[in-house]
Homo-oligomer: A and B are copies of this chain.
Amino acid sequence: MTAVTTELDVPSGAPARVETPAPGDPRLARLSLNQKTVDGWGLREAIDGCVAAGLPAIGTWREPVADVGLETAARWVREAGLRVSSVCRGGFFTGAGDLSQAARHDDNRRALDEAAALGAPCLVLVPGGLPAGDRDLGAARSRAAAAVEALVPHALDVGVRLAIEPMHPIFAADRGVVSTLGQALDMAEPLPVEAVGVVVDTFHVWWEPGVEDQIARAGARIASYQVCEWITPLPPDALLSRGMMGDGHIDFPRLTSLVAAAGYTGDVEVEIFNADVWAADGRAVVDTLARRYVELVEPHL
């Protein structure tokens, strides 16, 4: 494993290279906290954490929204003056069998309704993995494409975009059979751009050969830009293997410049699944990600 020089101020408390931006700092104008980054917070704490740190947007997850009720959640974010940058997550389309697919379709329709109620511009779609014992990756990818297409009319009705998330191939078997931005665009492009976009998540696409061309190709299809880091050694649980920007190998200035050049003007979500980050104090996590964002991402938007 290659050693990486880190300046990890969460959770280690090492000094940061930039000061924590204060609420009202214009550099925070597009920063969104994906609430999964502070897994210990419920929706109320996450909203309060965004407001306290001066973040104008939040990416919500369905489960914590359901915990308080959709109406309450929508009222809370509205009263806090926050935007909901995305709703995580729909998808999981690849289960075999008509019953499974019909149930998934209905659940994704409800997810679109929830996103609309929250005022979110998009619903992030995690495609899903291979069913148990099924080794036909091509067929699973085709099911995912068909399932997205079937949701287009409802997405247009409620005014929420379906955002296909290509996932790092580490997840191809068990979470996301769409493995590259290029492949996600192949799925999206036959469908209306106002209904179907893609997520550019640095963790998932940083390694992709030709990612420069694919981001340029994506253009107006970029429904969400999410940032988190590829760190080594890779943490033992693949699902929690994401790091804080700046602690690993991803060239955030370059990828951010490419996304900006493609015309993306939306919020930038920080979404980190990591046991150490989750164990840290939520306010410190938000302060850290704000510093890293201001240092590595925002100047290149």
Contact = CB atoms under 8 A, between A and B. Distances in A.
A209 to B, nearest CB: 4
Contacts of A172: 206-207, 230, 249
Given A179-B208, A238-B234, A1 B174 contact: yes
A131 interface: yes
Contact of A132 (B3, B129, B168): B3
Residue of A170, A208, A209 ringed by the most chain B CB atoms within 10 A: A209
Interface string A180-191: 101100100000
Contacts of A135: 249-251, 254
Work out how many copies of this chain go into the complex: 2
Q: How large is the interface on A (under 10, 10 to 19, 20 to 34, 35 or more residues)?
A: 35 or more
Nearest to A5: B133
A197 interface: no
B2 A129 contact: yes
Given A137-B251, A172-B249, A179-B207, 4 more contacts: A169-B207, A172-B230, A174-B233, A236-B236
